[in-house]
Amino acid sequence: MVSRVITLTTDFGGSDTYVAAMKGVLLSLVPDIQIVDVTHEIDAQDIWGGAYSVSTLMGLFPTDTIHIVVVDPGVGSDRKGMILETEHGLYVAPDNGVLTPLLDREPIRAVSIANPEVMRPVVSATFHGRDVFAPAAGHLAMGEPLSNFGEPIDKPVRLGLWEVERGDGWVRGRIVHIDRFGNAVTNLDRRDAPMEEEVEVSVASTTARGVRRTYADVGEGEVLALVGSQETVEISVRGGSASEQLDLRRGDQVEMRWWIA
């Protein structure tokens, strides 16, 4: 089946023509596709930011969607281009860790993008988004089998700090995103977070008791942990900014422990 939707997630911004160039390549190959701009405002070369953006959209698009993700500080080096096949779509990206959140959701397979026939005739060393990833996605949309793109990748690159550690009565993760409201989004899944009082969530020098359902479950200005819209644990301050009040940063460690009252 020909894919009808291709999404674009990049750090290219909106002031240059990079995004338009990628769209031109795609439309030249597959004129009737629908292109969805997820965001082009990821901070420049911020692989963590790209990985977080990828994690927020899993399962929301049709399962035959092709997602292009280009945050690529290693462009032109020996890092590989990759296609990741999952149950909820195909992802085309550099193999640099930007697809780390998907690797924990049992991807079906990963292959390299190595066949010159699925690239533009001349490949720039500085713009693989246009010359490698966009044409590869176009060929996927036209029904090209994964076996024609390259060799299997057995161990795609992962972002080490994205890993979650689990023990007897505790789980430990990281803040992976600070949103515009100052909420600190973690990589702890809601399945790690019993909605009970018998839990303590610690970050920096602060501990919140319990995992709450809404901001209104605590008083104004109080720190709380709750499961946010991305189904992960967030550290928040009712009516304020957790990042400012607690001096939180992406990468800070978050620990959740169970205890008996």
Contacts of 16 (CB under 8 A, 6+ apart): none
Cα separation of 123 and 128, whole Å? 7
175 & 131 share domain: no
Calculate mean pLDDT across residues 29-49: 95
Is 159 contained in some domain? no
Instruction: Determine the 3-state secondary structure of 52 from DSSP.
Output: helix
Q: Domain range spanning residue 138?
A: 5-148
Position 162 scores a pLDDT of 79
Calculate mean pLDDT across residues 65-77: 95
Is 153 contained in some domain? no
Position 191 scores a pLDDT of 78
Tell me the pLDDT tens digit for each residue of 180-199. Answer: 999 999 998 877 766 555 78
Cα separation of 54 and 81, whole Å? 17
User: How many domains, the chain?
Assistant: 2
Is 121 contained in some domain? yes
123 & 168 share domain: no
Q: Could you tell me the pTM of the whole model?
A: 0.89
Position 247 scores a pLDDT of 94
Query: Distance of CA 133 to CAs 66, 74, 91, 149, 248, Å?
Result: 11, 14, 10, 11, 35
Of the candidates 116, 148, 180, which is a domain's last residue? Answer: 148
Calculate mean pLDDT across residues 125-133: 96
